[in-house]
Amino acid sequence: MTREEVEVLALALPAATRVVQWGGADVYKVGGKVFAICGLAGGLSFKVTEIGFMVLTDEGGPGRQAPYLAKGQWVSVDLDAVDAQEVAGWIAASHDLIAAKLTRKLRAELGL
C-alpha cells in the first residue's frame, strides 16, 4: 500500500482534511482532530478501540504501539506489510472514533 492510496481512502471519509506536519507526515483530520498519520518511519498510525489495540499489538499482530501516541490507543503498521482492505477499515474506524468525540454542534456543522 502506498501513501497515495492511504490519502484516497482517508479523504473519501466525511469532512476529512489533510495537512503536512511533523517533518513531512500526512496528517488526516476530522473537525481539526487527528485520526490518521501516514509517513512517519514508513508507517501508518491510527486510533483504535481498547480491544483493537490489544488485537493489533499482541504477539503476531500486524501492528505495534504508535510512538508518542500509545497511551491513547494508537497503533502503527508498516504500509508494505498490510492488506489494503484492512487499512480501509482501520482508517474508517479511526475516523468514526475521533468524530464521535467532537461536539454535537461541530458534528452538525460538518454534516456528521
Is residue 40's pLDDT more than 90? Answer: no
User: What percentage of residues in the chain have a pLDDT greater than 90?
Assistant: 63
Q: Architecture of domain 3-110 in CATH?
A: Alpha-Beta Complex (3.90)
Write the pLDDT tens digit of every residue in 2-39. Answer: 889 999 999 999 999 999 988 889 999 999 999 999 98
Q: Hey, where are the domains in the chain?
A: 3-110
Average pLDDT over residues 37-57: 89
Taking CB atoms within 8 Å and a gap of at least 24, the contacts of 89-92 are 90/44, 90/46, 90/48, 91/6, 91/9, 91/10, 91/13, 91/28, 91/35, 91/36, 91/44, 91/46, 92/9, 92/13
Say whether pLDDT at 70 is over 70. Answer: no
| Bigger pLDDT: 13 vs 70 | 13
